Structure 1
Amino acid sequence: MAFPAKTSKTLNGKLSFPSKPSSETPQFSPRGGPPPRTATGSAFPANWAESPCSPSRLSPSVVRSLPPSSPSPTSPCWTSPPTYFTLSGEIPTQIMELTELETLKLGTNFFTGKIPPELGYLSLLQTLELSSNDFYGEIPTQIGNLTRLKFLDLGNNFLSGSLPSDLFPKLQSLASMDVSRNSLSGEIPPSIGSLKNLTDLYIGNNHISGPLPGEIGELSRLEILDAASCSITGPLPEEISKLESLTKIDLSYNPLRCSFPKGVGKLQNLSILALVFTELNGSVPAELGNCKSLTTLILSFNSLSGPLPEELSELPLLTFSAEKNQLSGLLPSWLGKLKQVESLLLSSNLFSGKIPPEIGNCSMLRLLSLSNNLLTGPIPVEICNAGSLLEIDLDSNYLSGTIDSTFVKCKNLTQLNLVNNRIAGAIPHYLSELPLMVIDLDSNNFTGTIPKSLWSSENLMEFTASNNQLSGSISNEIGRAAVLERLVLNLGDCVILVDVLISHNLLSGEIPRSLARLTNLTTLDLSGNMLSGSIPPEFGDSPKLQGLNLGNNQLTSTIPGSFGRLGSLVKLNLTGNKLSGSVPVSFGELKELTHLDLSSNKLDGELPSSLSSMQNLVGLDIKASNILLNEDFEPKVADFGLARLINACETHISTDIAGTFGYIPPEYGQSGRSTTKGDVYSFGVILLELVTGKEPTGPDFKDLEGGNLVGWVFQMLKKGKAADVLDPMVLDADSKRTMVQVLKIACVCVSDNPAQRPTMLQVLKFLKGINDE
């Protein structure tokens, strides 16, 4: 809030009253290090004597108003100290002696304590600013004695209690009141209607509840009503229509739970109306079109329904937002009459039909969001007639056709989101000629190849085209996308420069080594394609890469040891390929790795001991489909065994519990935390599945057997029926001995006592020992 500057009878928040320091004395405290000193040792500028608060410039009335115990006028506390100083402590009660004070500004300091009631003795005070401090307690009713007060700012403190009903009747001169961003509660007293000269009222971000009193309609000069983020309820009083001077109403984030306020169409001077998250219901009234000064209309996150009234087309709107409602009907063509609108946000409604080409007549439109509606048909080529659009979001509709020339005129477009539609055809080359930073084309019917020219873009940071029908190979030109951070090309998800998402398409050929030149890349998802060849070792030179998903392709050869240099890598998925060889020892250097999936490959050899240092690995979603033994009972590498391999001498790693029911050890039900010994238990369940051919849970198990596979196995062993536990489908004379040994190992792993379970490294050595025999 702005307060008028005064050249006299003014104290600008830099006061220290008692001559002796005390705990209540406001003290200058340095911010950001000690202040520079002058030659005399003062913390204030050498030219201070020339400031407006020097003795020669202070008005006689201010000098005479100083109490005897106050510092002399030559003290630096009579001027605003440098920005690296702040005041703290409590306001001393001696302030009541400044009887001629007209302006007191102590805002943006570290004052604490309660607001002293003695302020009520400053009968000449016109401006009181105590905002952005640490004051607490109730607002003293004595402030109501300041009959000349025009500006009151107590905002951004820790004040509590209710607005005193006897505070307002005497404040007939008050023009601006700000008590926002506190902890005030209770209802707004009807006496607020006595503030006949009030123009600005800020009471938002409090716990104020109840309805707005009808007496608020008596504030005939009120221009700003800001009561956002409280607990005010509806319905809004009809008297609000009497506030003909209002220019701004913000009641957002209040549980109004009512229909649109009646009489709002009479507010001819209203320029801003914000009713976000107010649980409004019913329709948008046509009378709103009478508010001929309305430039900002924000009705988002409510339950408004029905069509938009055409009367809104007569408004000089700059911003129109009605997202997250239940508005329906055809998207009106009259939207094209909003010649000045810059933001048109109508996403997450029930609008149907085609996008009207008249939208292209909105010559100032910069942001257009129509996502999550029921729109159909092709995107009109007129959409960018004005060429002013910066962002277009048409996500999750039923749009069809192609975009062969749709966005050619969007010369300023930086973000394009067409995700989850039915758009077909090729990705056009002209997109590379636009200043696009984000292109999201996921889940459509795009075909053909990705234009090589896209990778020459100087701006593209994200390209997603997953879940399409793209084909061909990934061009070597992709390495030219210098700022690309995300590239997703999984079946239609291509995110460039920062994220590359092209998963789940029909891309084939080898992964170009030039991808490694995308040094800003953080996410690369090429999963679910038909890529072949080896994984380029150059990926090890991608310092910012956090997510790499190459799963479900036809990649061969070994896992590059250079992956150990990916110090930022969090998730690595190589599942479902034809990779061979062993797991690189360098994986132990991936300190940030939390998820690792190497399942369904042809990896062999032992797990390197360096994996014991991967203490951030999580993920207990383990199933027999992920961990298998081959015909020689050698363990294959999958996304389980690497979950938490650490040395037996190390303490366990506590992580949030996560896993599949039936594999979780009994102690998790008590502690709610996962451990390395819990992983061993889960692996033991996997081994039991393999040798018994049974699921870990199911109707086959009786309650007396624990209701699960583990309980059933132990009951059978107690009865001396170990042979009956083994899967008869694979049991023969040659394999029986080996299966019994695996069964014994499994039983040790699923011991009820975690301390009796081996480590995972020991388990793997046991299994390897069986094969060596």
Structure 2
Amino acid sequence: MARTRPTPMGPSVVLVVLVVSILGGCRGEQAEIGEGLKVDLEALQAFRELITRDPTEALREWGTQSDPCRWSGIDCDVVLSSESNKREIRVVGLELWGMELEGSLARDIGRLTELRRLVIVGSKMSGRIPPEVSNCQKLDTIDLRANRFSGPISFSLAQFPLLQVLKLSENELTGTMGALFVESFDPMAHFGDTHQASELCARLEVLDIAKNRLRGELPIEISKCAQLQELSVSENSLGGGIPSTLGSLRNLRSLQLNGNLLVGLVPESLASCQKLDLLDLSENMLTGPIPRQFAQFAGETRFNFSSNDLAGAIPQGKWKAQQMALAGAFAHNANLCGWPLAKPCAPPVLAVTTGSSSGGAVRNRRSMAEGAPGPAPSGSSPAPVASAGAQDAPAPAPAQSSESNHRARKWALGLALGIVAGAIAAALLATVLRLCVFYMHKPPYLQGPIIFHPKIEPKMLAFLEKDETFTDADLVGSGGAGKVYKAKLETDGGGMEVAVKTVIVKEDAKGLFGKRQIQAELETLGCIRHRNLVTLLAYVHRPDCHLLLYQFMKNGSLYDVMKRLESGDNTMPWPIRHRIAVGTAHGLSYLHFHCVPKIVHRDLKPSNILLDENYTAHLADFGLAKVLPGADTHVTTGVAGTVGYIAPEYSQTCRFTDKSDVYSFGVVLANLLTGKDPTDQFFHTVPGGTIGSWLHQLLQSNSGRDAIDPKLRNDEFDEEILLAMKIAVFCTSDNPAERPTSKDVLIMLNQIRVADEDPSSPNAGPAPPPIV
């Protein structure tokens, strides 16, 4: 129902609103007379016509009531119309929450010129956000979260001078953030005055565009949003560095940049944002130390620096409190040390200097670098330290006899060797003691399920221990590893759909030591979380097999989808295939660069790439070839790995590396581009005998278009597909040293769909190599 609210603008306005509220019939008649409301009615009817599905019938009354102010989700008010310069009833709010609507947003939305709030949350609206929305210049809230809007952002913040909240998260938006900060538009054209471009986001308090597919860099213009309190751009593919100008946002309370491709140092200037409650920089490629100024933050501030390449000692200060005690906030940074990590920082390195009257002095290198005097023997003057720019350094003391110098050097060397030998002996003793305690007091292994999800309890998994569990179960897949079933666990918050994978155990892997290894490795894998990795929920051991419980993916595996394509039961345009490739590369890059130690997948193939309802890729079975060494997890030819996807060097070295995974990824990418199975007999007839060598030859002869999947040919994406073919060839080089890293592959794949939008990005990374 409409909510007609008087505005504090005088007795006449209050009287109009009271009459309108009490006399429903008169109000309806009055609404029809107003020209502005007629325009609003037409705009809303156009909006309704583009809704293709309304499962909750939320908009049913839109077709039965002639007065839009009575429709659900519509809010009206008496306003001073910018068109007529008169007070009239107009639509000021369109708010549709969780209605699961399907369709697209009509261009006529721009005709709602008095709209204050545009809210469509939790539906399945798709297509581009029309640029006409910029005509609604009185908007203070735009909230289009949790839909399926796609394409680049088509409006600027300069077009909404009153905007306070912009939320576009959980969509499929592409392009860069730069469009939001275009300043050339005159934002006050309909308001009788003008604002300077520097005020393009003067009132903005919330900017949330997380969980999209944005690329490019963080614009430095964000720092002009002086009132900004929440900034979230997490889980995109943004690159470049973190602008130091973000430190000027003194009202910032939440900064979430996690899950991107950000590089460089963590700016010291962020320490100026003393109102921060949350700072999340995890899952990027940041390097260098955590600025020591961060120690000034209050203990209530939550931080997450995990899964980067940060190094050095963790600053100690006010922030040593509450959740900061959790080492997870700093995990997966190989070179970070200090509290709260279990890895202590190395003691200061000692340097030996000679030349004093006693034959030498031991000094701290850091003290020397800072010019602080080191300790000297009693009765002697400090030994001089040679350094660049030391113009007034005192002359060295007279040289001692060679015998005295020799004794000093022997004494220093013996001291150093003694310290090293003692440290090694202590470490070995500690390791032996820990192993003894571990094997004496560790509870029995594999006596019950290993659970990694907080809502799952052991009793929910009891049915998996029974032999008849899978007799009538819903089989969703099968292969060399066993079978995959769909099951439902009853939790306190409702049912949870899971996929139960059976992994057959060979006899030589049933020993106690093997079981201990399995549990230790699975405990590691179960703690790994990334949006492009399938989450391991629990593990159950049975005498004949291992049972792995994963989150259930509605679209099955990439293998299933490609089979449906082959039979003509499905279509998959290039943007979706590109999304799958990028997601796969993102997951692989996380395993290789953000897990300590790195995890090699060992069996990357289409059946191990699962797709959710949005065709986002999730890697499954990562590391299982190592975790379950005695399990039948592959279709093999005497070595680990799957036929057609095995890197050629494995058959000679019997070793898997991250470059082996890159080779397998190249084969998967070639499969996506060509629609051809790499195990097809056809490839036995071509030189090289692989799908990669076949593509190489076609690209060399400028015949690459002949290899494109016929379902993708002759459309606007041919050039992008050809660039992707070059990446596939690059990945499937016979020489591992010539293959890119998974991180490089991710950057290149992102580049081919953003090349025309941001070609000058200095952090764009390597381009696909020429085919020669």
Larger Cα Rg: Structure 1 or Structure 2?
1
TM-score w.r.t. structure 2 length?
Answer: 0.39
- TM-score in terms of structure 1 length: 0.38
